[in-house]
Amino acid sequence: MSSRTFEDKEPRARESSGFEFLKGVGQVTGGTLLFITMLTSSIVAGGLVGLAVSFRNLPDVRQLRNFFPSETTYIYDVKGKLLASIHGEANREVVTLDRISPNLKRAVLASEDNDFFSHHGINPKGVGRALLVNSQGGEVSQGGSTVTMQLVKNIFLTQRRQFARKIAEAVLAIRLEQILPKDQILEMYLNQVYWGHNNYGVQTAARSYFNKSAENLSIAQSAMMAGLIQAPEKYSPFINMKFAKQQQQIVLRRMQELGWITQKEHDDALKEEIKLGKIRSFQGSALPYVTNAVSQELAKKFGRDALLKGGMRVQTTVDVDFQRMAEQTVSKWHGRLTGEGLYKNQIALVAIDPRTHYVKALVGGVDSKTSEFNRATQALRQPGSSFKPFVYYAAFATGKYGPDTTVYDTPVSYRDGDGWYYPKNYDSSFSGAMSIRTALSQSRNIPVIKLGKAVGMNKVVEICRTLGIMSPMEPVTSLPLGAIGVTPLEMASAYATFANYGWQSPATVIVRVTDSSGNVLLDNTPKPQQVLDPWASAATIDVMKSVISNGTGKNAAINRQAAGKTGTTSSEKDIWFVGTVPQLTTAVWVGRDDNKSLGRGATGGVMVAPIWRDFMLRALKNTPSENFKSPSQFPRPKSN
């Protein structure tokens, strides 16, 4: 006999439809059953129409025309490799009916509702049998539910077995079939039903059980999945393959009896070896720090509920291989620093393309398995002297100062509240007259404080805000020494704006976000704006080049033109190196979570610059060397 399609509407005796309707009622004669079935068919068919009028407080099924079930959000790297799936209770990926294997459609209908295409929401024969069994047992133990009834129960009603709820199911099912076509109801059902192990809908279930899409399921796999619906965890092949095979055999036999598969297809399916996938719900991310940052950005933009239930498809800016290279660099240097006495050290690294402000690597700590805290985006740490370029930029932007302007590294004091503030250098010495270039390359404190006072600390704060540094800061005398809290992401983004001569796009880890249908929700194609003066930006880069060529950042030299700045806070609690080439800007921070000192002699130039150098050499291995533009290529701002 040839196989018939699942849409065949020829009436057939329904022996079980996935429910053991006659279990425990063997004493009932065939005549009695026929009489009761006919009687209940008449009552149900005519009576429920009248009941529908009285059930005015039931949910309005018309809202299902625009119903969107909660759906899992998927995060991918820049090349499309899956990094993580994020969801609440329901792990679900919605698919259209034409993307579901006909084998699975036949198997589910054979098991649950083989008269689906001929009834109008309820199946009188099934309800009659269920009422008989329930009346014998004195409780609701059999359902008699059609696919439509199961759908409205799953969406609108509780799972508690009560006669009133069964009537409500029937009423809602009749109403639903009046407004939605059968194919749409079946599609909604297959995407709504629970398949076990936190898998909701056919697609996530197929990927979990068999590591394939729902549209590619074989007859054998489809029959096994259909057999799970009644008790997913009980019949799960992950838990008990013997039970799963027994259910599969029941479904296959039912499909063959209905003529929906041939005898040969039945026999071949029984012989087919079942190769299981793996339970996927609540799996960890391939790149936890990246997906953590993505989740923060999505929740801020769309809200946490949309993140967990909105079914978004997120393309990130990060390449898996590049990110893992960054993570390996951090892990290697964590071990080295520990060996050098910097115990309990943590390291954060952020790399950004200054031309797009896309984040290319983001490492929030030495081991995401032991600590999920993302120090790259969440830790507010003092930047120390790596803050100084912001002050020098403010001076350059006035047009009154240039890289070779003379400043004085001499003793000075300032009234600070009720007392006096006597700033000093790291080595407690003074070096007298020097150029701004020398003052920055040698990281002298006195000149930068004097310049900050000259241009106005409020102006320095304003520039920091323009650069995207939103941490609290006050225009106090010590501000130029970095006595505020910032994140490595903020520092990398700010330096990237200098490297792009004042052009800026918002720093992001997300390229694009769509819904599950492909509609664009967020497009982060760079739209750069000129936020800083180009000459002052180029001048800032120019003096930072001297930091690496002959200053405190010599350990960051990478045999190509680069600019950067070391940072070391008082008591050596935070040490930094932030640097850039035209194609890549990277911030590296080292410190301890308990905010204790790393130890005397722990400086950004000695301890962190080598980490930056190691990472940049690997990151730029196949990237051609480029030089920065000279300040002379831009018009110098006119001084006021």
Q: What is the pLDDT of residues 166-211, one digit of tens each?
A: 777 788 888 888 888 999 999 989 988 888 887 888 998 999 999 9
The predicted model gives 445-450 an average pLDDT of 96
What's the N-to-C CA distance of the chain in angstroms? 95
pLDDT at 197: 83
Q: Where in the chain is the domain with CATH 3.40.710.10?
A: 323-507+530-633
pLDDT above 90 (res 261): yes
Q: Which CATH class is domain 30-71+92-271?
A: mainly alpha
Least Cα distance to 553 among 602, 482, 609, 614 occurs for: 609
pLDDT above 90 (res 92): no
In this structure, of 15-19, 48-52, 250-254, the range with the lowest mean pLDDT score is 15-19
- List, in sequence order, every residue forming a beta bridge with 194; answer none if it has no partner: 200
- pLDDT greater at residue 32 or residue 95: 95
pLDDT at 244: 94
| Cα 533 to Cα 422: distance, rounded to the nearest angstrom | 33
Least Cα distance to 411 among 454, 456, 453, 450 occurs for: 450
| Cα 254 to Cα 13: distance, rounded to the nearest angstrom | 11
Q: How far is CA 281 from CA 89, 92, 285, 560, in A?
A: 10, 10, 11, 46
pLDDT at 151: 84
Tens of pLDDT, residue by residue over 611-639, are: 999 999 999 999 999 999 999 999 999 88
Tens of pLDDT, residue by residue over 478-503, are: 999 998 999 999 999 999 999 999 99
Least Cα distance to 543 among 429, 428, 427, 443 occurs for: 443
Question: Which amino acids are annotated catalytic?
Answer: 112, 385
Tens of pLDDT, residue by residue over 546-565, are: 999 999 999 999 999 999 99
Q: What is the mean pLDDT of the chain?
A: 86
Helix (H, G, I), strand (E, B) or coil at 430: coil
pLDDT confidence of 421, banded at 50, 70, 90? confident
pLDDT confidence of 103, banded at 50, 70, 90? very high
CA 64-69-74 angle, to 5 degrees, is 150
Q: How far is CA 12 from the centre of its chain?
A: 48
| Cα 207 to Cα 278: distance, rounded to the nearest angstrom | 8
Q: Where in the chain is the domain with CATH 1.10.3810.10?
A: 30-71+92-271
| Cα 3 to Cα 107: distance, rounded to the nearest angstrom | 13
- Level-2 CATH architecture, domain 323-507+530-633: 3-Layer(aba) Sandwich (3.40)
Taking phi over 0 as left and psi of -120 to 50 as alpha, with beta for the rest, 601 belongs to left
Highest mean pLDDT among 129-133, 152-156, 250-254, 427-431: 250-254
Least Cα distance to 331 among 315, 348, 306 occurs for: 348
Tens of pLDDT, residue by residue over 329-366, are: 999 999 999 999 999 999 999 999 999 999 999 999 99
The predicted model gives 422-442 an average pLDDT of 93
pLDDT above 60 (res 15): no
Helix (H, G, I), strand (E, B) or coil at 299: helix
The DSSP-derived string for 210-250 is HSS-GGG--HHHHHHHHTTTTSTTTS-TTT-HHHHHHHHHH
pLDDT confidence of 4, banded at 50, 70, 90? very low
Nearest 5°: phi and psi at 370? -95, -20
